[in-house]
Structure formats: structure tokens, C-alpha cells
Amino acid sequence: KERVLYVLKLYDKIDPEKLTAESHFMKDLGLDSLDQVEIIMAMEDEFGFEIPDGDAEKLMCPQEIVDYIADKKDVYE
């Protein structure tokens, strides 16, 4: 979870003050769909596996990414 939030804090369009595990990327943080794609790519780089587009579209807040990665990490280890 800390790694996900750390990667998000490095993203220049996210205000670290507003970032929580429950922050909605578009509603709370004011990001658009392109920003979301860039966030997913950053997560793929950080965690070393690909997130399919169909899954990526559903990941709208940090906690959803944390849960998704926790699920997938078992598969990739």
C-alpha cells in the first residue's frame, strides 16, 4: 500500500495533501483518463507486471490498485 501511494505522490499532477487510499482519481484529484493510463503504467513499472486495459479502467482509487496488485502478486510470484 505504501508503495502504491509513494508512486502516486511522485506523479506531478497529484497533490500529495489530497491523496488518501480512498481518493477517486477523477472526482477527488481532478485527473483525466490519460492521467489514469499514466498512473497504471507507473504501477506496471513499479511492480513489474502488466495490468490489462480492461482491468485498468476499473481502478479508480489507490485502494483499488492496492487490492488488485495484492491479488495479482500471488499469481506472479
- Enumerate the active-site residues: 32
Q: Which amino acid is at 13?
A: K
Cα–Cα distance, 25 to 74 (Å, whole number): 26
Look at the chain and count its residues.
Answer: 77
Cα–Cα distance, 21 to 58 (Å, whole number): 15
